[in-house]
């Protein structure tokens, strides 16, 4: 299995910055992509940013130019640098990995962390 643990959330004022981290562990064979999603209260979970193994990046329009996703593949880590935060960025942020495990290297599954809360408020 693959376990994802997020960290770095908290309370920040509008215009501030936060850096989220996600560590993947377990019997990992290969991680093909990692991503950050968020879910605000009463809303559906949405993709914030993703980074496949080829190093390309994809961002939601609402965060382009403000958020940056990065990966350390050697450490199975993914990060989300968030700047110019707005109250509408308030949400639980979830780490996602599309990966296979040693026991079944050809089978890809989606794995999720438990989330970290980001609150943007003055």
Structure tokens at 21: 């981290």
Residue in the structure block whose two tokens are 């981290």: 21
Q: How many helices (H) and strands (E) does the chain have?
A: 0, 11
pLDDT of residue 77: 96
pLDDT of the chain, 122 residues: tens digit per residue: 999 999 999 999 999 999 999 999 999 999 999 999 999 999 999 999 999 988 899 999 999 999 999 999 899 999 999 999 999 999 999 999 999 999 999 999 999 999 999 999 99
pLDDT of residue 55: 87
pLDDT of residue 19: 98
Q: Are the C-beta atoms of residues 71 and 105 closer than 8 Å to each other?
A: no
């Amino acid at each position: 299995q693959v376990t994802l643990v997020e960290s770095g959330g908290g309370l920040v004022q509008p215009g501030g910055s936060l850096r989220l981290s996600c560590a993947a562990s377990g019997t990992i064979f290969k991680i093909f992509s990692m991503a950050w999603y968020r879910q605000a209260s009463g809303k559906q979970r949405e993709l914030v940013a993703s980074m496949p193994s080829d190093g390309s990046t994809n961002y939601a329009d609402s965060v382009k130019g403000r958020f940056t996703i990065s990966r350390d593949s050697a450490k199975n880590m993914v990060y989300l640098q968030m700047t110019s935060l707005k109250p509408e960025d308030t949400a639980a942020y979830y780490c996602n990995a599309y990966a296979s495990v040693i026991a079944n290297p050809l089978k890809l599954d989606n794995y999720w962390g438990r989330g970290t809360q980001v609150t943007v408020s003055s």
